[in-house]
Amino acid sequence: MKLDFENKYKNIYFVGIGGVSMSGLAEILVQKGLKVSGTDIKESASTKKLENLGIKINYGHAYENITPDIDLVVYTAAVKEDNPELVSARDKGIDCVERAVLLGSIMDDYARSIAVAGTHGKTTTTSMISEILLAADADPTITIGGTLSTIHGNIKVGNSEYFVAEACEYHDSFLKFDPFVAVILNVEAEHLDYFKDIDHIRKSFKGFAENTPESGYVVINSADPGMEYITKDLKSSVVTFGRSKEKSMWYAENVIHNPNGTNTFDVYFEGRFMGHVTLNVPGEHNILNALAACAASTAVGIKMSSIVKGLENYTGVNRRFQYKGTFNGAKIIDDYAHHPTEVKATLAAAKLVEHNTLWCVFQPHTYTRAKLLLEDFGKAFEDADRIVLADIYAAREKDTGLIHSRDVAEKIKSNGKNAQYIGDLNLIVEYLKNELKPGDLLITMGAGDVYSVGEALVNM
């Protein structure tokens, strides 16, 4: 669906304008010369930035916020149908579109667009590709689900044919995109409050791949169990990446694990040496993310010299293995991991960093995820020495009473690990004050507000 900003939609209103993706899209439209306004629950650094760009923001959702001069209302999948502003817009006959429709429409304006999808690694890989395009002086437009220090935020508006964005599968949002390059990092059971099962998820990713034009590319992890199903009968070219050179077009060899957890390795494409890569972010999973970035960047015409430079320039985004500081000689890291696979990968990366005791404070994210993936969570913490469980972060959900963070702690303990439930974040801070020793490594982990534990310790 192509939105007509030239003639029809000149005054756009965002419901939930302060969100990471929504704020970025609002900024892009302002740069295009359109009138933008919106609403959010409370003031934040993001809303302040938008207000400095001249965007009027209402704090608190209200029926009267939607005025007749508004041409288009944009909302996210998290906004409920009874939201007073959505109700108001529809009462007034104003067109309403979900955020993904707007992003897909914007993406259509760029000949060399890259959309990065997958259950894990979207923000990191999108950021890696962004660094590569910046290193190549390609002047891309970028929208990321996190803060990248190089662009001082999550958005950059460029003046070229290059566009890179995250593509989220939740509520089939990414089916609104028709990218020139579709990247699929991995496909696992996630967002089970929407998807029925893994087959439903794979069908959705297949639809995403099928949206890529015949002249375009689908970049996909060769180790993903659903790869053959997803790529069958695609009209576009398929490019694979992975650790197996027998199964992958892009792969890594001569991997060296450094004492700080980072890696250096040689990149190969179909048996041909392409370049030597140094990553400044830790973890085996980031080798795969870097290979995906190599494949996607090459597909849009970027030279390997710029790819190597861009990957070395990438030092991470906020809440992705982010160094926060120290407390009592213990190093404190924060990470967004909230799915068992992400937890396992992050702790595996942490294990390679020199330390005495590896602590993990984990805050489960949503009751649905905690309940449906309980067995997997129980096995995900094998690389941690001490695990502390915070209360479940509800996010968009209500407590059903069917799952508790204590259950997660018990499941981890049943797998032979030292896990305990404390619950309240302030109580966790008090506990760690007396337990952390010099040389320890603490990771606060989860998609909620668990990062505040590390920040409280660092600021003591």
Catalytic residue IDs: 122-123, 166
Plot region of 86 (φ>0 → left; ψ -120 to 50 → alpha; else → beta)? alpha
In Å, the largest CA–CA distance within the chain is 64
Radius of gyration of the chain (CA): 22
- Residue partners of 62: CB distance under 8 A and separation at least 6: 39, 84, 85
For the record, the structure tokens of 80 come out as 């409920």
In the chain, what is the straight-line distance between the N-terminal and C-terminal CA atoms, in Å?
52
Q: What stretches of 165-277 show up as alpha helix (H) in DSSP?
A: 198-210, 227-231
Strands 272-282 and 262-269: antiparallel
CA distance 299 to 301: 6
CA distance 314 to 308: 10
Residues 296-316 as b/e (b if ≥16 CB within 10 A, e otherwise) read: bbbbbebebebbbbbbbebeb
